[in-house]
Amino acid sequence: MWLAFLAIFTPCRTGAALPSGDALEFAGQRYARLSDWAAANGLILRWAQRDEAVVLTNRQHQLAFEKDSKNCVFDGINVLLSYPVAIHNGAAFIADADMRLTLAPLLSPPPPTAANHVKTIVIDPGHGGKDPGFQVGPNQEKKYTLLLAQEVRDQLKKAGFNVYLTRNSDTFIDKSERPVIARQRGADLFISLHWNCVTTGKESVKGVQTYCLTPAGAPSSNESSDVSDTSPQPGNRNNDKSLFLAYELQKSLVQSLGTDDRGVRRARFTVLCLAEMPAILIEGGYMSHPAESRRIYDPAYRRQMARAIVQGVLAYKHQVELAPPPPPAPRPTSSSGSRGSGSARPN
């Protein structure tokens, strides 16, 4: 338990990245008082359960944390932290890395700028060809990622985007080639689509999760990440935007589909590591779950999921893209007081 470790911590002076007050150190990670961070960000802290769970609120947001847990419920959506929240001597502590790299980008999303143009999107149907992905009975993951990708493409095009798929048929494309295709297409966003599966808990494990790239040096949420190297990857240049994109997509999917919220997560998947634009990977549901699998195989449900993805993209675009300037107002016309008055006409 983290409490046992915290009991031996030595308080240290905080650095510039931390709010005022004492900090704790553990396993190379610096922790600060959650109350200090909350106050610095205009949030009010209250205990939902003394020494067990804490909630931060202001007029816009609500964040909920539990002792020894990596899960944060941010405005009703689960977001996994890199390190567990700890409670020691009646105070809650949070890792400096999570303050900077997980919570800050959600509290203060990327500001609208002219550089944040969102017009071209590459959709990546996972697996294909000799790589079937998960298989449940006769159903292979690669088939249903492509079907969903085609539906997402069609709906995004109707919404005015330029859209390309990394594969348009049952062909094999290496993971490392998929972000290259996105770069060659001039993609502003990269969205990889997958379905999930478990061997145990088939009757209970279901829901959607959305991944973005793990920050450099931090542990991933997914133990099966492709890349074990924790050094900075090309995709880390877009950490804040990718996290915000993942959050908007996860929120839209959960709210639109009424499915279980398995959270915004972090992983070093190859397609996320090598993407040079904001990039996410969606695990849209569990083929191993009896009821959820029937929905995955249903074209009407995939259309509904595609609509949720489009709405998430539009929410992201609305936040980060600088709105075009309004058209110039028409020049006023002057009306003459009387015929032959000699009043000037507009040119």
Q: How far apart are CA 120 and CA 146, in angstroms?
A: 19
- pLDDT of res. 261: 98
CA angle at residue 58 from 56 to 62, to 5 degrees?
Answer: 45
pLDDT (0 to 100) of residue 113:
85
What are the C-alpha distances in Å from 141 to residues 134, 146, 199, 266, 287?
5, 9, 15, 22, 8
At 15 the pLDDT is 32
Q: How far is CA 176 from CA 115, 144, 273, 276, in A?
A: 26, 21, 9, 12
Residue 244 vs residues 19, 117, 346: alpha-carbon distances, Å: 23, 15, 49
Rounded Cα gap, residues 231 and 277, in angstroms: 18
Going residue by residue through the chain, which has 347 residues, state the pLDDT in tens, using 9 for 90 and above: 444 444 333 333 333 344 445 678 876 789 999 999 999 999 999 999 999 999 999 999 999 999 999 999 999 999 999 999 999 889 999 999 999 999 999 999 988 888 889 999 999 999 999 999 999 999 999 999 999 999 999 999 999 999 999 999 999 999 999 999 999 999 999 999 999 999 999 999 999 999 999 999 999 988 777 888 899 999 999 999 999 999 999 999 999 999 999 999 999 999 999 999 999 999 999 999 999 999 999 999 999 999 999 999 999 999 999 876 677 777 766 554 444 444 443 43
The closest of 51, 52, 26, 56 to 41, measured between CA atoms, is 56
List the one residue out of 171, 166, 174 whose CA is nearest residue 129.
171
Structure tokens at 61: 């947001």
Comparing CA positions, the residue from 148, 134, 127, 125 lying closest to residue 297 is 148
**CB crowding 246-258: b at 16 or more within 10 Å, else e:** bbbbbbbbbeebe
What stretch(es) of the chain map to CATH 3.40.630.40?
A: 120-320
- Model confidence over 310-343: pLDDT tens digits? 999 999 999 999 876 677 777 766 554 444 444 4
pLDDT given for residue 228 in this prediction: 86
Q: How many Å apart are CA 161 and CA 10, to the nearest integer? A: 54
The answer to whether 133 and 126 have CB atoms below 8 angstroms apart is yes
Q: CB-side exposure of 148: number of CA atoms within 13 Å?
A: 32
Domain with CATH 3.30.457.10 in the chain: 2-107
Residue 33 has which token pair? 């008082």
Provide the CATH number for the domain formed by 2-107 in this structure: 3.30.457.10
Nearest to 105 by CA among 326, 333, 319, 345: 319
CATH class entry, domain 120-320: alpha beta
Report the pLDDT value the prediction gives residue 155, as an integer from 0 to 100: 98
